[in-house]
Amino acid sequence: MSEYAIIFDIGGVIATDLHKPLLMGIANDRYPPLERSNILRAADRPWNRIKIDSNYSEDRFWEEVIANGHLGESVPELKCLVRKRMRVFRDTVKVAENLRTQGYRVGILSNHAKPWFEELCTRFRLYDLFDKEISVVSYAIGVAKPDKKAYEVLLERLKKNISDFDTKKCIFVDDKIENVEVANSMGVIGIQFDSRIDHIEVLINYLSKYSIVLEDHNLHELRT
């Protein structure tokens, strides 16, 4: 078993972001310019609730978004549209699969809503790839990044499940710089990587700096 643990964020790294791009598309396609900024802000408060409260329903989330943004869409329509956005970034998933195959412990630290995260896990079999014992999702612990408490929960699980765990041997991949900076402040190796805009070679090169070499012969296709 390799000594490094590699922890991935979900939204923007492993899978697409969901509600924000959806609302942006709706605002641009269906509403006049003067209404768009209000629509884009409509999810701010309900998102801050649903990502840390597993009892806060998705229906309630969309009801508040509709009320805040004065949207004409219905709750069922928005629930359907957000599920159509669910995708994983195949190249990044291949990297995580390669790490897992080589014996690295691969986990999750993500801010996510319970219904969407559970559906992503089911649809794309994420827990066949990620180790549930060393995975932390905000809705399940009641706290979200960049709060240090979220990182502390992760480190506690790593220490519990990996013998002789060393924080300096933990690599955390996130698309947001503020989350990376908090990880660095706690002794974790934080790497900023955004699957939407960065080529997979960027992540491969980051990992190689710590002597983590991807060995799957198929991965050479990701470099081109």
| pLDDT average, residue stretch 91-97 | 97
Residues 106-128 pLDDT 10s: 999 999 999 999 999 999 999 99
More confident residue, 3 or 156: 156
Domain of residue 66 covers 19-84
Residues 70 and 111 in one domain: no
Does 162 have pLDDT greater than 80?
A: yes
Residues 148 and 38 in one domain: no
Listing from the earlier edge strand, what are the strands of the sheet with 170-174? 136-137, 105-110, 5-8, 170-174, 189-192
**Cβ-proximal residues to 60 (8 Å cutoff; 6+ apart), any chain:** 46
Of the pLDDT bands very low, low, confident and very high (cuts 50, 70, 90), residue 223 is very low
Place of tokens 């960049």: 146
Residues 13-34 pLDDT 10s: 999 999 999 999 999 999 999 9
Number of domains in the chain: 2
Residues 52 and 158 in one domain: no
> What does the pLDDT read at residue 1?
45
| pLDDT average, residue stretch 156-161 | 96
> What does the pLDDT read at residue 93?
97
Task: Name the domain boundary from 43, 59, 84.
Answer: 84
Residues 40-92 pLDDT 10s: 999 999 999 999 999 999 999 999 999 999 999 999 999 999 999 999 999 99
| pLDDT average, residue stretch 144-168 | 96
Round to whole Å and give the CA distance between 169 and 105.
11
Of the candidates 6, 10, 32, 27, the one whose C-alpha atom is nearest the C-alpha of residue 172 is 6
Residues 179-193 pLDDT 10s: 999 999 999 999 999
Rg (CA), the chain: 18
Backbone phi, psi, residue 147, to 5°: -60, 130
> What does the pLDDT read at residue 45?
98
Residues 79 and 132 in one domain: no
Please report, rounded to a whole number, the percentage of residues in the chain having pLDDT higher than 70. 95
Domain CATH number, residue 141 = 3.40.50.1000
Residues 66 and 99 in one domain: no
> What does the pLDDT read at residue 3?
82
Residues 158 and 211 in one domain: yes
> What does the pLDDT read at residue 224?
45
